[in-house]
Amino acid sequence: MAVSSPQIQDLEYLYASNANVSNFVSMKLSGQENYHLWKTQMLCLMDTHDMCGLVDDAFDRPKALSIKIMKQYDSLLKGWIFGSVSNGVLGTVVDLGSAKAVWDKLRSSYDRIISAEHVQQETSSQQGEHVQPKTSSQQEEIETERKHTISEDIESGGEDTMAEEVEYKLWHATVNGSWRRVKEILKKDKGLVKKEFSFQGCTVLHLAVSIGHKDLVEKLLLFIKDDEVKDILEQTNEDGSTALHIAVSVGNEHAMKLLVQKHKDLLTMKDDNDQDPLIKAFNNMQFDIFAYLFKAASENKKVEELSIAKAKKTETGASLIVNTITAKQYSTAYDLIEAFPEFVVENDQVLMAIARTFPSHELNYWERAIDPPVPRINHIKKKKEAFGHARKVLGSTCDQIDNLIHTRHLFYEHTILEAAIYNAGAVFSMILRRSRESHKSKNKDGYDSFQLAVIYRSEKIYDYLSIMGEEKNCYRTIKDSFENNMLHLAARLAPSHVLKRRTGAALQLQRELQWFEELKKFMHPSAITKQNMYGETPPEVFTREHENLVKEGETWMKTTAESCSITAALITTIVFAAAITVPGGNNQETGIPMFRKDIAFTIFAISDALSLFTSTSSLMVFLSILTTRFAEKDFLVSLPRRLIIGLCTLLLSITAMMVAFGATLYLLFSREKQWMVGPICGFSCLPILFFVTLQLPLIVDLYRSTYVPIFQKVGYIFR
């Protein structure tokens, strides 16, 4: 639908209202000395948004169909002008009603030619002279005289105006990233490299770093003389920020590295908020920069001068490490712990953060398939490196905690519960080795680590129950405050974030059933009929808790089966028709196919028959899914197995159908046009490729969830 004109005008006004005036007007009008430069910048801004006509009738006004929008433009322009003049100038125009009135007032007050003419007119009026309106030729003469006068002023002593124009050119060239123009200006006046622009006290280096012009920053640093590097790089803006502070804040990693290499003392300089670049990087979530700066500080023996070093024996240091671990920057966290080991024993938050975010070292199906022959794939490499760094962080943290002989158990008793909730098997193993009784600690609800493992479906933690010796027998009869045994806990619906580990309601229900069946094997047979405080047995709890999930799983299964059965039926129809009307036709006398002796015809016959058989089988399997009872136990093995068979046979039927189709095209056309073989093969592979790409992950998930056991009876020992 086309956008109406009023809507376009609203968008144009919205665009203008979001303009950053400081990008165009770099100074505040203070008087005649900078009026010309201020006016030039304001006209550039107004011209960008077609607003010059609001103050000068020689230009077109903004296109507006309503008076309301025109008033909005006028108010916007007046606001721009008010924001770009000094307080003294503002007092003379603040009460004027329109942007044109404000503009004319400023022009008459500060434009040298207009001001002189205005004084002359007033003098003539006082003397009783009649002032004749000027003709167009006279107006041109006045304008020429005005320009000539300004030129004379500049040549004869308008150094301030000239300097402001040069500064503006330098600012404009820096914003545009033009090193050629910047170099030309700086060669004429090398002192400008230290000159602060009127906005925020930024130098040309600050501006180049903040905008992100890599080449400009690099060439600018080479341009600066060695004896001036220290002073220029340590120069700060109004916020007390050096160029390194700015580079860190905006994430300009290239400029940050150049600045650190050029002047190492920048690492310890602080801004007005008492933040050095390292803390600035952390507060701005620039973790890669944080890691680089900390490494640079360590290599240059400046760690003790950092703000972090002054956080000793406070929660600030521990909080810093916690946030680093939470961001999964384990390598940086390890360096911090090695430099400040006292941070990790301030409280148990560091160890708790490790338990919550500890990465899994396990590779999925595809990663295991390609890992040995292709060891350098970045994703797999990073996954292994993350686990290795996290393990080092865990070991280093526990080493520091073990030095606290009398209070170390306080660190472990809460963390092991957290590890049970987040399925952090490595953390659980490490704590269990260092504090054998820690698994007996309980949370506020009275659950210990193994009970939490069942509630949160943490199979890595549950596996350790098999190596607990005689202690595991107590879990066969243990109950909570509501008389729920372990089987009751397994019958409860898992938390939503745990369910989302599986794709689709059917697989989620299957995983719930697997946990319930596993606990049935572990518990005493009598536990199945035990009632809790509410008079419910574990099977009754399971049915009640999973009622909605069963319905969702049924809907998902039916939808999938219906879609696939339609596809299978279409394939069956197509290949059956192709079998009757063979390519090339039949001999009218004998009824034998004309191409029966061609190898391509044999391929067609075999693939067509295979496609017919597999598509029919697939159709039957999907129909069996649609007609099943959808009982809870059907989701454990029966339904997933049928879906696997149906999808695999459907994939095979599609593949065979495309082979048959390709063989047919070859028989009909490729004998005379051999070049068609390539395109036929290529296009025939497209449907197969699409199906494999879209459906194979589901088949793999179904197979792994159904046939790959999730429980390992041999406990994982952390080394």
Tens digit of each residue's pLDDT (9 = 90 or more) over 227-273 = 888 888 888 888 888 999 889 988 889 999 999 998 888 988 888 88
**The pLDDT of residue 4 is above 60:** no
**The pLDDT of residue 541 is above 90:** yes
What distance in Å separates the CA atoms of residue 503 and residue 344, rounded to the nearest whole number? 38
pLDDT confidence band for 551 (50 / 70 / 90): very high
What distance in Å separates the CA atoms of residue 503 and residue 511, rounded to the nearest whole number? 11
Using DSSP's 3-state secondary structure scheme, residue 327 falls into coil
Which range, of 175-179, 348-352, 553-557, averages the lowest pLDDT? 175-179
**The pLDDT of residue 18 is above 70:** no
Centroid of chain to Cα 6? 36
Q: Are 333 and 325 in contact (CB under 8 A)?
A: yes
Q: Among candidates 82, 77, 72, which has minimal Cα distance to 46?
A: 77
Residue showing tokens 């606990």: 519
What was the pLDDT predicted at 689?
A: 86
Tokens of 476: 């066969």
Q: Among candidates 352, 318, 348, which has minimal Cα distance to 336?
A: 318
Using DSSP's 3-state secondary structure scheme, residue 356 falls into helix
pLDDT confidence band for 1 (50 / 70 / 90): very low
Tokens of 653: 């039927």
H or E stretch including 123? helix 112-126
**The pLDDT of residue 118 is above 70:** no
What distance in Å separates the CA atoms of residue 690 and residue 385, rounded to the nearest whole number? 33
**The pLDDT of residue 485 is above 90:** yes
Q: Check residues 325 and 595 and name the one with the higher pLDDT.
A: 325
What distance in Å separates the CA atoms of residue 118 and residue 140, rounded to the nearest whole number? 17
Say what the pTM is: 0.68
Q: Check residues 375 and 50 and name the one with the higher pLDDT.
A: 50
- Going by the DSSP 8-state scheme, the letter that residue 3 receives in this structure is P
**The pLDDT of residue 369 is above 80:** no
274 Ramachandran zone, left/alpha/beta (phi>0; psi -120 to 50) = left
H or E stretch including 419? helix 408-421
Which range, of 24-28, 351-355, 540-544, 670-674, averages the lowest pLDDT? 670-674
What distance in Å separates the CA atoms of residue 564 and residue 691, rounded to the nearest whole number? 11
Count of Cβ atoms closer than 10 Å to residue 232 Cβ = 20
Q: Among candidates 223, 230, 240, which has minimal Cα distance to 170?
A: 223
**The pLDDT of residue 346 is above 60:** yes
Q: Check residues 125 and 451 and name the one with the higher pLDDT.
A: 451
Q: Sign of torsion, CA 402 403 408 412?
A: negative
Vertex 378: Cα angle to 330 and 703 (nearest 5): 100
Residues in contact with 87: Cβ distance below 8 Å, sequence separation at least 6, in sequence order: none
Tokens of 66: 């309503």
Residues in contact with 221: Cβ distance below 8 Å, sequence separation at least 6, in sequence order: 205, 229, 258, 259, 262
Tens digit of each residue's pLDDT (9 = 90 or more) over 635-656 = 999 999 999 999 999 999 999 9
pLDDT confidence band for 61 (50 / 70 / 90): low
Residues in contact with 274: Cβ distance below 8 Å, sequence separation at least 6, in sequence order: 307
Which range, of 417-426, 429-438, 683-692, averages the lowest pLDDT? 683-692
What was the pLDDT predicted at 284?
A: 83
Tens digit of each residue's pLDDT (9 = 90 or more) over 128-184 = 444 444 455 555 554 555 445 444 443 444 455 556 677 778 888 888 888 888 888
What distance in Å separates the CA atoms of residue 382 and residue 393, rounded to the nearest whole number? 16
Q: For residue 428, how many C-alpha atoms fall within 13 Å in the half-sphere facing its CB?
A: 28
**239 exposure class (CB count in 10 Å sphere: 0-12, 13-18, 19+):** middle
For the segment 697-708, the average pLDDT, to the nearest whole number, is: 92
pLDDT confidence band for 63 (50 / 70 / 90): low
What was the pLDDT predicted at 312?
A: 53
For the segment 276-289, the average pLDDT, to the nearest whole number, is: 86
For the segment 458-486, the average pLDDT, to the nearest whole number, is: 90
* N-terminal to C-terminal alpha carbon distance within the chain: 65
Percent of the chain with pLDDT over 90: 29
Centroid of chain to Cα 163? 45
Q: Check residues 583 and 642 and name the one with the higher pLDDT.
A: 642
What was the pLDDT predicted at 713?
A: 63
What was the pLDDT predicted at 16?
A: 63
Q: Check residues 164 and 503 and name the one with the higher pLDDT.
A: 503
What distance in Å separates the CA atoms of residue 296 and residue 280, rounded to the nearest whole number? 15
What distance in Å separates the CA atoms of residue 111 and residue 115, rounded to the nearest whole number? 6
**The pLDDT of residue 510 is above 90:** yes
